[in-house]
Amino acid sequence: MANMSAFDFIGTLDADTVELDKADESAILLAALEDACTPEEFAVIMENSTELELYGLIESASIATEANRIVYKQTKQMNLNREQSKAAFRLAKKAGAACWKGYHKARVKMIKFRNEIFDKFGPRAKSEAKRVVSGARKKASAMSGNTVTGKTISEKLDKKVKEYNQ
């Protein structure tokens, strides 16, 4: 018991008993759309996110828009500082700094735990993502001729469903 990690409970969890809520499904759908669209297409979809809410594709347009803004801001900020971050890590490593050693140790653990999560929950995650995107695709077909983004969304979700089926 003394060697037991704080995360050893992952092995005792059953992936099939965990359920997603509407916010989770909305996040999965938006991630699928972002992956399938060009940045310009996705920007148009997000500008018209109320359509997604009206047709029942996402739970809340305002929450989705805010989440997208936060992710975009963080991503842009991270990209702007990427070179500086690399330089800082290299300097800390070369100096043998304690903070580098702590960071490296934590990073190795994080990757180990991430892989355990993917091994345990990955198959269920794939089927859930497929279910969410397929269900949204059916709803999006009603948008096809009626909204600004309907055709784009419908086509992009078709593409994602085909990817899941391969």
How many distinct structural domains can be found in the chain? 1
pTM for the structure as a whole? 0.66
Instruction: Report if residue 4 sits inside a domain.
Output: no
Q: Is residue 11 part of a domain?
A: no
| pLDDT at site 38 | 87
Q: What is the pLDDT of residue 101?
A: 94
Residue 102 maps to a domain: yes
pLDDT one-digit tens code per residue, 122-141: 999 999 999 999 888 888 88
Q: Is residue 14 in a domain? A: no
Q: How many CB atoms lie within 10 A of CB 143?
A: 20
Is 75 within a domain? yes
CA neighbor of 160 nearest in space, from 124, 134, 141: 134
How far apart, in whole angstroms, are the C-alpha atoms of residue 149 and residue 140?
A: 10
Q: Is residue 104 part of a domain?
A: yes
Domain that holds residue 37: 21-165
